[in-house]
Structure 1
Amino acid sequence: MLEIHGLDVHYDGVHALRGLSLTVAKGEIVALLGNNGAGKTTTLAAASGLVRPSAGKIVFDGKDITREKPHKITASGLVHVPEGRKIFSTLTVHENLQLGGYLIRDQAEIRRRIERVYELLPRLAERRGQHGGTLSGGEQQMLAIGRALVTGPSLLLLDEPSMGLAPLVVASVMELIAGINADGTSVLLVEQNATVALKIANRGYVIENGECVLDGPAAELREDARVVEAYLGGVRRNGGT
């Protein structure tokens, strides 16, 4: 579904990605792990057309999108939910969701998709007339994901969806992501909370200094000594150290 081959990205004098390669197959959740500045956000930005690679190739659903414009990439089904949610705080929940349909001409289809989001996220339905800026952090994250669902993704790029959220809210967000995936949407998940990411992911990649240094099935990464030490607090998922 998504293939990234030998990607290099330079900006602001920084060599942000160095020959990075990864794949996301149809139906997968793939976790992208790494410390701040490792290149995770840049990877998503390159895939969604927000930054231009200096080398390499990005293929989505068999089409080369390396130089494609962001709105065309979104229209093809690759939808990016950026770090920080980026909802419109002065618009209502419903108005934010309507903006997710900006590429769709069929108004009836937009309404159908919004109603599906309300079914999936009844808390948003309860707050449909409330301004986005008055929502809790968790509700804003749900709204950002809901808006992306209105766009109609076949692949969802999620950048740090658990950032700044309480543990119980994080669990709800991860449950939502797993549910979206079960409904048929593939997911590339950038997440510093490796513990929760590897619980719902099928596979994972670890990035350091713009390079992929480790990849494999999520179950294996949870037990890998390097991942345990760097990202799981030195505690193996079976309870040992």
Structure 2
Amino acid sequence: MEPILDIKGLEVAYGKVEALRGLDLCVGEKEIVALLGNNGAGKSTTVSTISGVVRSRAGTITAFGRDITAAAPWSIVERGIVHVPEGRRIFSRLTVHENLQVGGYTVRETATVDKRIKQVYELFPRMAERRHQQGGTLSGGEQQMLAIGRAMVAGPRLIMLDEPSMGLAPLVVAQVMDAIRSINEAGTSVLLIEQNARAALKVAHRGYVIDSGRVTLTGPAGDLRTDPQVVEAYLGA
């Protein structure tokens, strides 16, 4: 099966600092792929480059059979790829409902936006309860749910989540991961960027481990969970 996202030989540098060094990665239809690595490994650079926020100096990014290496960020969203950045970055002064409406800015049909917001409320009942509350007054876990919900209003075929478990209590992490699984079961592919390898590999189908901008390991999530290198570096003895 041809992947919906196919990255080959991706190279990115910030000045003289090489962030990605020939990265290869792919995501299949209705697949959850985990991208694991320590701080500075190149995880956030990878998704920022896919979403058009950062430009590569070499390599190609193909999505749904089309080259998007040089595409504008808004065009990439319209093509079905949505990025939920690290730190959530919701609009703190807007209400929950207004934040969700912003997620539909590339969607032409108001009725479609309304339908998708309703689906977000079904996925995250807490958001429905807080629909008139300002985003900045939500807890960290609620803000993460809002950020994911806002992305879903765009109707992505592929959603990229950058460190969704960061700063969250274990119980809330489990709730977020359950939501990611539900989103995937409804048909959306997921690229999950995480330092929390234990949580990510529980929901992922496949995974990549990157270090210093290169893929060092890849395989089915079940294999990575028992790989001695992953256990030692990310899961504990």
* Amino acid aligned to 1:157: M
Q: Counterpart of 2:179?
A: 176
SS at match of 1:32: strand
Which residue matches 2:127?
124
Alpha-carbon displacement from aligned partner over 1:69-88 (angstroms, at most 9, x marks no partner): 00000110000000000000
2:167 match: secondary structure: coil
Alignment of 1:105-116 (within 5 A): 105-116=108-119
- 2:164 is aligned with 1:161: yes
**2:54 is equivalent to residue 69 of structure 1:** no
- For 2:17 and 2:183, the matched residues in 1 are separated by 35
Q: 1:35 aligns with which of 38, 49, 63?
A: 38
Cα offset, 1:13, TM superposition: 2.8
Matches within 5 A, 1:145-160: 145-160=148-163
1:237 alignment counterpart: none
Q: Which string of whole-angstrom CA distances, capped at 9 and with x for unpartnered residues, describes residues 151-184 of structure 1?
A: 1100000000000000000000000000000000
Partner of 2:82: 79
1:206 to 206, 209, 212: 209
**SS state of the match for residue 8, structure 1?**
strand
Query: Does 2:91 align with 1:88?
Result: yes
Deviation at 1:12, TM superposition (A): 3.6
Runs of 4+ in 1 over 4 A off after TM superposition: none
Report the Cα distance in structure 1 between the residues aligned to 2:115 and 2:83, rounded to whole angstroms: 21
Indicate the residue corresponding to 1:98 in structure 2: 101
The TM-score with structure 2 as length reference comes to 0.98
RMSD of aligned alpha carbons: 0.6
Comparing 100-109 and 173-182, the one that deviates more: 100-109
Residue type of the partner of 2:225? R
Match of 1:232 among 227, 232, 235: 235
Offset at residue 139 of structure 1 (A): 0.3
The answer as to 2:19 corresponding to 1:16 is: yes
Task: Tell me by how many angstroms 1:106 deviates.
Answer: 1.1
- Equivalenced residue count is 234
> Which letter maps to 1:151?
A
Query: What are the residue-to-residue correspondences of 1:139-150 with 2, within 5 Å?
Result: 139-150=142-153
In 2: Cα distance, 1:167 partner to 1:129 partner: 27
